[in-house]
Structure 1
Amino acid sequence: MASDKPADFAKATETVIDEPSALLTEEGELSDKLYDILHEVFLQFAKLPETESAAKLKDEKEKVKLATLGREEINAFSRATNGKDLPDEQWTEIVEYLDVNDAGELTFKGFTELYSLQTENDEAETVKDLKAWGYDPQTLERVKKEGKAQEEAKKAEESDKEDDKDGESA
């Protein structure tokens, strides 16, 4: 017996799934906008190798390939984002499970792995981080000229410059 229901009735009555957030794609990957924000934030805290070629780099995409977050940098990032140093057990997990270089420092790939896992499992935590960085988690647009994290990164950078000056004058 033929149905009197329209062919697309089944589609219309399916359970509506919440729209994907701005943070992840439908496939569960980091959205392009979130990836770009992570790129920017990573470079604010990461260190480059102390080589002449690294110092000459101007292209952000080339810098991120060489940049890393060691224990000191991850703590600065953590303080700016969460208000405290990263606990030792979390640092151990990062080094064990995420992409790190030969010196055990977190690479950008590892940083994006970290945020991919966090966003998939606890999106609210990533939302909190975005707010600390000065972004609207709904639109991923900057809502503050500088978030708490950017202010902390600048303070750390200025402190490093002061340390360098002190070392030169000694």
Structure 2
Amino acid sequence: MASLLDEDGGISESLERVLKQIFGKYCTPKPELPLSGDIPPNAYLEPSKLDAWASDTNGEPFSQETKDEILQFMDVTDEGNLTFKGFLQVYQLQTENDEEETWRDLSKHGFDRSLTLIRQE
């Protein structure tokens, strides 16, 4: 099983690689090669894409309260769109508090416990 956090408690390199692939499915602007893990440096999740990611991950969009918390405490653009740095912050907090929830999220996006993509959406 792959490690989600490194020895310092930060996002592991392998988890960051997977999160780039997931973020790349929803971000604006779109990556040139969607599954490459190469996302544009100015990429962000606009509100409809944040909802799409939440729905694909959790079965429903976030509540307005959850969205407000994300946009208040995580890294966002000047327009209030979640950046990749903010996306990593969401997963950092979640993984610290409930690693199994992160594994469930990754599974919903087609990754196994070795962080290998086993099915594409």
TM over 0.5: yes
2: CA distance, partners of 1:58 / 1:132: 23
Contact 2:27 2:49 in 1 (8 A): yes
* Structure 2 counterpart of 1:22, one-letter code: S
Residue 4 of structure 2 is aligned to residue 23 of structure 1: yes
1:40 aligns with 2:31: no
Q: Distance in 2 between matches of 1:83 and 1:36?
A: 23
Letter in 1 for 2:4: L
Give the Cα–Cα distance (whole angstroms) in 2 for the partners of residues 142 and 102 of structure 1.
Answer: 33
1:141 CA displacement = 1.2
Change (3 A) 1:61 1:134: closer
- Structure 2 counterpart of 1:69, from 45, 50, 68: 45
Q: CA deviation at 1:61?
A: 4.0
Deviations 1:99-132 (A, max 9, x none): 0000000000000011011101111110100110
C-alpha distance in 1 between matches for 2:55 and 2:6: 29
The residue that corresponds to 2:117 in the other structure is 142
Query: What does residue 79 of structure 2 align with?
Result: 103
* Counterpart amino acid of residue 136 in structure 1: D
Structure-1 residue corresponding to 2:54: 78
What TM-score do you get using the length of structure 2 for normalisation? Answer: 0.89
1:75–1:114 CA distance, 2 compared to 1 (3 A) = same
Q: Is contact 2:52-2:61 (8 Å) kept?
A: yes
CA RMSD of aligned residues (A): 2.0
Q: In structure 2, how many angstroms separate the alpha carbons of the residues matched to 1:62 and 1:31?
A: 18
Q: CA deviation at 1:58?
A: 4.1
Higher alpha-carbon Rg:
1
TM-score (normalised: structure 1): 0.64
The sequence identity of aligned pairs, in percent, is 36
Residue 115 of structure 1 corresponds to which residue in structure 2? Answer: 91
2:2 & 2:47 partners in 1: Cα distance? 31
Q: After the TM superposition, which segments of 4 or more aligned residues of structure 1 sit over 2 Å from their partners?
A: 57-62
| Higher helix proportion (structure 1 or 2) | 1
Question: What letter matches 1:30 in structure 2?
Answer: I
Which ranges of structure 2 fall in alignment gaps of 5 or more residues? none
Structure 1 residue corresponding to 2:70, chosen from 90, 94, 110: 94
Q: Give aligned pairs, total.
A: 118
Unaligned runs of 5+ in 1: 1-19, 49-54, 152-170
The structure showing larger relative contact order (alpha-carbon pairs under 8 Å, at least 6 residues apart) is 2
Post-superposition CA distance 1:10-34 (Å, at most 9, x none): xxxxxxxxxx961111111111110
Alignment correspondent of 1:51: none
